[in-house]
Structure 1
Amino acid sequence: MSLPAAKSSYAGYRFPAEVISQAVWLYFRFPLSLRMVEEMLAARGIIVSHETVRQWALKFGQEFASRIRRRLPCGGDKWHLDEVAIKIAGVKHWLWRAVDQAGMVLDVLVQSRRDKRAAKRLLRKLLKRQCRAPRVMVTDKLPSYGAAKREVMPGVEHRQHKALNNRAENSHQPTRRRERQMKRFKSARQAQRFLSTHDQIANLFHLRRDHVTGSEHRTARARAFEMWAEISRVAAAI
């Protein structure tokens, strides 16, 4: 049943599915520019322009991210929420992000405001996506979180402390690296689209090195690559 879907996904493309999926993976998985991906492919004898890589990322990125979201287990019951300022076309915006206790990104939302209304939008999006409320919500001391929580999910325990929210704050670091590589995002829509895809692919390859042996880490990494092959339907296209 997967073969027709694979044919329709890659129909009309001159390059095989293996090349397209590899380019998309490189672009979203690592802090690489489009031209860097172009050069890495050229080193393998694959001559493709950076504009083509951009089109592949737009076409397949969100499609792959949606499949990853459906395949990965549900997020944990402890949500860490945080917001960070980003500049888009010279205007300050706020990137709101939620991660669970394992560091898996639950969702992101780019907004122009940092107030109760913006916090409510994030919480409602999370509830819709996760289909359940968390056991605990951890945030910094921004009052907007408490005000939004009291209206959207009043029964949830809320812990507000700067030191407790390091997990959410650390989750912004890959975004900062990509923001520098891309010389800032061009629009809120572009930032939302890119980060929604980037974070899901990062979730798939979120392999914790603490408390595991080298062999366990390699096994987990192999499973992630197997799932990526299934999600990108490379095996079905061979």
Structure 2
Amino acid sequence: MALEFRNVTKTFGALGQKVVTAIEGVDFKVNKGEFVSVVGPSGCGKSTILSMTAGLYQPSSGEVLVSGEKVTKPNPHVGFMLQKDLLLPWRTIIKNVEFGLESRGVGKAERRDRAMAELERCHLAGFENQYPYQLSGGMRQRAALARTLAIDPDIILLDEPFSALDAQTKLLIQNSFAETIQEAGITTLLITHDLSEAVIMSDRVLVLSERPGTVIREMPIDLPDRAHPLKRRQMSEIHQHAAEIFALLKLDQRAT
């Protein structure tokens, strides 16, 4: 089992302040190599789940486990990608990709070899000496993925990494990401507000309730070609799954 939440509740609020419960009684498992998306209303605790997986927050109760070990601090085997690529503008692309390896003390020759291998995998060979401002938004996101892959993570956490891209670039980058992640066999947890994106990218979709967030449905996406979201977009079942998720979310809103 790559990732497991066991009856996890997380509250925020210092002494004397209002206590907010972000998630409550969250239970789910993610298998090794699986791609799982998390959807739900704004403020329901989706980002809290990612942060707890990365070890940035600790549960108020319950347990979070990565590869069978309880998460008590930031985990070097978990990579995190945000909406923005966060590339360092004063470093070349290859130096950006090397950054995580450099901070871990990996030698110069090894980190360059590993960075170049990931740039090739992300179709950025030939751009390694460019600076971030010289690349398109889609290329920058691929560079951010290469940087994440270079540290050889067991799990990648994606916090709406495609939302800032234009529609055409978004389709192309989704496809590139899906191919690369499946080829590498990496377990992936994606947060998105785009229900169709959740369906075309995933093996399963977790649907969260209004805050405090809890899992109200685990929806398997039993469709072929997970590594090729563009092919999946042409399947009628995609729209059916997205409509079912939307109905669940609307039903939950009416119930609260």
Name the TM-score class by shorter chain.
under 0.3
> Normalised by the size of structure 2, how large is the TM-score?
0.26
Normalised TM-score (structure 1): 0.28
Greater fraction of residues in helix: 1
